[in-house]
Structure 1
């Protein structure tokens, strides 16, 4: 099982987005645990399952290692902050950012069991999500989150098929990436967020109180058995670079 440790990496350049995808082990290592701040330790301890505690610790340790290496600081010197939610103004569930050291990066994080995903972007908001291709969630939950066009797309695969379940998960992973890029949580009415899973790229409109903006969501190369997506504003500057080894793609 690949470790959660991250090699030294270059941070995002003057423009563009960098994405890292990795996998943690099923046992928390002392090195991973040592990197968690008190809040992360409290959140980790809420998991009753040892594997889930290990996955959480491994992912958050990897996030710190990558950001630390990119900024030229020790992983333990990286501190996270939470911006105010643009929807309700709360500072309890807004988008994360690199608080220490001071950096003008936008950041998005995602976890799904042992898999984790991190995105860093200079200047432009970014949102990412990673999920299993065959999720265990009930279809009824997803149906409430789909637009009419998405429902028709999913229904075209017939009942009780793996392709149908994957289509549902593609809708879900794209929607998560989009609302994260907006800085909003899953309290958003996802049935109004049309991510066009039948297309390689989809443009999604977002109506904020004072403006209407447009965002592009796309699939990202992911390990076998997973789906991943990235969302950025239309017109975001610079390329997207995915750091994913051939070993992970092979599963």
Structure 2
């Protein structure tokens, strides 16, 4: 991985956008199949920081390293578009204690009236106002990377369909109401339902920036495809394809109801 790696054409970002039902206009989700974008990401690693490059070199397993590189390169390109700067100039930082990503700040004049394939310009939200910091969340699983950005706290999780053993482990740590609801299912239906519940939990804790320091057993995700969680949060399913064999969820801070 170096700046001298041969250049490969960027993906068509509009084709990687994934609709999030009910999401606010400032939220964008991109889902990247590893097989389609790995070569491009490998050719574009000059946008990564020295720390990111060192982390990538330290990952021994090939597919895990590719997932990491794709996730970081794609994140920098999406954020660079929204912020009006080069991907390498995006100030990606994380909380040293929790690992949660810090929001990033752009330049209002650089993006005024601009739109593009990677997502909307920094726009306006009834609750959040004109120009706000951009929040982001990334998730990766075998063969897939998901990147979500928004002008509000946001979280995303994507997971390949869990095995029977993984399903048993996750079922034991879900909320008691979700465990009771899912325990009677069998076979693939059970694996799908537990995976779906788990990605909703993960999306929420990423949005809250707590990670799994907040126990999954305290988070009842229920059955609705899009549901409010408390007064401030919404979590919803995002459609995946049979080929992806995965489940995907996004959580975001909800605009407050109009007053008066």
TM-score normalised per structure 1: 0.74
- The structural deviation recorded for 1:186 is 1.5
- The structural deviation recorded for 1:137 is 5.6
Match of 1:186 among 179, 194, 212: 212
CA deviation map 1:123-174 (0-9, x unaligned): x21111111123476334213321122112212313xx01101111111100
Rounded to whole Å, the distance in 1 between the matches of 2:64 and 2:40 is 9
Unaligned runs of 5+ in 2: 1-7, 15-23, 109-131
Rounded to whole Å, the distance in 2 between the matches of 1:29 and 1:191 is 37
- The structural deviation recorded for 1:94 is 2.7
Rounded to whole Å, the distance in 1 between the matches of 2:221 and 2:213 is 17
Structure in which a larger fraction of residues adopt strand: 1
Deviates more, 1:149-158 or 1:135-144: 135-144
- The structural deviation recorded for 1:7 is 4.1
Pair 1:61 & 2:73 matched:
yes
Instruction: Indicate if the aligned counterparts of 1:32 and 1:58 stay in contact, CA closer than 8 A.
Output: no
> Match of 1:79, SS?
coil
Pair 1:200 & 2:225 matched:
yes
Runs of 4+ off more than 6 Å: 100-103
Instruction: Indicate if the aligned counterparts of 1:147 and 1:193 stay in contact, CA closer than 8 A.
Output: yes
Instruction: Indicate if the aligned counterparts of 1:134 and 1:162 stay in contact, CA closer than 8 A.
Output: no
Rounded to whole Å, the distance in 2 between the matches of 1:135 and 1:46 is 28
Match of 1:222 among 237, 240, 244: 240
Q: Tell me which residue corresponds to 1:132.
A: 160
Pair 1:162 & 2:183 matched:
no
Rounded to whole Å, the distance in 2 between the matches of 1:92 and 1:181 is 12
Q: How many residues align?
A: 214
Rounded to whole Å, the distance in 1 between the matches of 2:93 and 2:79 is 14
> Match of 1:108, SS?
strand
Pair 1:152 & 2:180 matched:
yes
Pair 1:24 & 2:34 matched:
yes
Pair 1:74 & 2:86 matched:
yes
Do the aligned partners of residues 51 and 155 (structure 1) sit closer, same or farther apart at CA in structure 2, a change above 3 Å counting?
same
Structure in which a larger fraction of residues adopt helix: 2
Unaligned runs of 5+ in 1: 84-89, 206-212, 238-251
Rounded to whole Å, the distance in 2 between the matches of 1:82 and 1:101 is 21
Q: How is 1:87-102 mapped onto 2 (pairs within 5 angstroms)?
A: 91=97, 93-98=99-104
CA deviation map 1:53-80 (0-9, x unaligned): 1221122111111222233322222220
Instruction: Indicate if the aligned counterparts of 2:157 and 2:202 stay in contact, CA closer than 8 A.
Output: yes
